[in-house]
Structure 1
Amino acid sequence: MIYGYIRVSTDKQTVENQKFEIEEFAKQHNTVIDEWTAEVISGTKKADERLLGNLLKELEKGDVLIISELSRLGRNLLQIMSILNYLMEKDIMLLTVKEGYELGNNINSKVLAFAFGLSAEIERNLISQRTKEALARKKAEGVTLGRPKGLAKLSTYKLYKHKNEILRMRANGMSFNKIAAHYKVNRATVSKFLKRIGDENDGN
């Protein structure tokens, strides 16, 4: 059996690109994918927490698993190596489209898999370190990180452009719920907005 595995991290990504790549790869090798497994989930999740875990249990000796790239299996060295070791022990061939790897139960495959996993892990650590250094530099330069502290300006509120009309509604005795329904917002939004207006008026 020949299996195709696809994984994307978020629902904003599409599995179609990976599927197309794998299908084209299969055509070039005169083969057909017998079964597909596709999922939208972070690669940081353990294999047994993903559909990948079920697929791995289904694979048998002599089967072939095709993926777009090794990073589809996981996001860190130990995770990738664990899965590769499992496949090698079960004598399952793993083919990757982008890297062109053919990983089976042989020493060359094990060395190659380790080298890839190690380089990927180092790259992620370097990116993380560069991010931390950039944040530290901005902090040292006096740049405020994160959301601004304190209350947002009243003019940024969603209901601000209806301020006068809302005040007239309240003056005429209209309830928060009816005002909220009129502007299609929840009651809390109206309550907070009017409270800010009151606070600013008290401060003037």
Structure 2
Amino acid sequence: MKKAVIYARVSSITDRQNTDRQVVDLTRYAEYSEHNIIEIFEEKISGGKRNVDRPVLTECLNYCKDNNIDVLLVSELSRLGRNAFEVLSTVKFLIDNCINLYIQKEQFSLLNDEGKPSIFAPVMIATLSTCAELERENIKFRLNSGRDLYIKNGGKLGRKAGSIKTLDMKKEEYKEAISLLKKGISVRNVAKLTGKGTATIQRIKKEFNL
């Protein structure tokens, strides 16, 4: 069986979004394709961040290289970068290290059965990443336009009064996570044990100096 790694990412650093659906769908694909999932990397970070500022993605790519992983599984190409240049750089890293890439949304594999990029792979990757970049810019434009109109009509931005959690409130809400962190359990494992996002656990660890 080929060794596979899953990389899943959502943009929201809050608990409103999670990577569960991506992981479940990719796990099903791996089982169907008879791939052995060696590790799962989950990240909550904005899609606008540069790849060098994505610690989990960096860890994932290095893990694939160091452990001779056969294929990296992602739900869609935009998970791998904020723009076409960064995506292509990541793809080059994978090709240089003979690591295949499977994109579930398009059901696309980077390498053929001989471990070589297909003739259409570079065009396909460039097209998909450019389309994803354009879509992000369109979303950003619509959000900014809506915000400006809201302010123009008298709306106010920011949290409502009383909506900010106090330290005691957080201590009660995240008491299980705090207890696990105090025992020296890693952020990723605490996130899995408590059902919270890794970004949330990282924030709690920092706020409580754990």
For 1:7 and 1:58, how far apart are their aligned partners in 2? Answer: 17
Using structure 2 for the length normalisation, give the TM-score: 0.60
**SS of equivalent to 1:59:** helix
**TM-score, length of structure 1 as denominator length:** 0.61
The partner residue of 2:49 within 31, 34, 45 is 45
- CA-based RMSD of the aligned residues comes to 2.9
Query: Sequence identity of aligned pairs in percent?
Result: 29
Cα gap change, 1:135/1:84 in structure 2, threshold over 3 Å: closer, same or farther? same
> Is contact 1:48–1:54 with CA below 8 Å preserved after alignment?
no
Structure 2: which amino acid aligns with 1:55?
C
Match of 1:180 in 2: none
Structure 2: how far apart are the matches of 1:120 and 1:25? 23
Count matched residues: 150
Cα separation, 1, equivalents of 2:81 and 2:99: 18
Shift of 1:64: 0.7
Compute the displacement of 1:34 (Å).
1.6
| SS of corresponding position for 2:43 | strand
Residue 136 (structure 1) shift: 5.9
Which residue pairs with 2:153 in the alignment? 143
Confirm or deny that 1:20 pairs with 2:20: no
| Separation of aligned partners in 2, 1:81 and 1:2 | 21
3-state DSSP of counterpart to 1:95: strand
- Aligned residue for 2:107, secondary structure, equals coil
**Alignment correspondent of 1:107:** 119
Give yes or no for contact 1:74–1:80 (8 Å, CA) kept in 2: yes
**Which residue is 1:70 aligned to?**
77
Which segments of 5 or more consecutive residues in structure 1 lack a partner in the other structure? 149-155, 159-183, 185-204
Q: Which has the higher contact order (CA 8 A, sep 6+)?
A: 2
Match of 1:98, SS state, is: coil
The equivalent residue for 1:196 is none
Distance 1:34 1:115, change over 3 A: same
Q: Which residue of 2 aligns with 1:57?
A: 62
The 1:157/1:83 distance shift into structure 2, 3 A limit, reads closer
Match of 2:5 among 3, 6, 15: 3
Deviations 1:98-122 (A, max 9, x none): 2211113333111100000111112
Q: CA deviation at 1:94?
A: 0.3
Query: Do 2:4 and 2:37's aligned partners in 1 also have CA atoms closer than 8 Å?
Result: yes
Deviations 1:126-145, CA, capped at 9 Å, x for gaps: 23334445556667xx6235
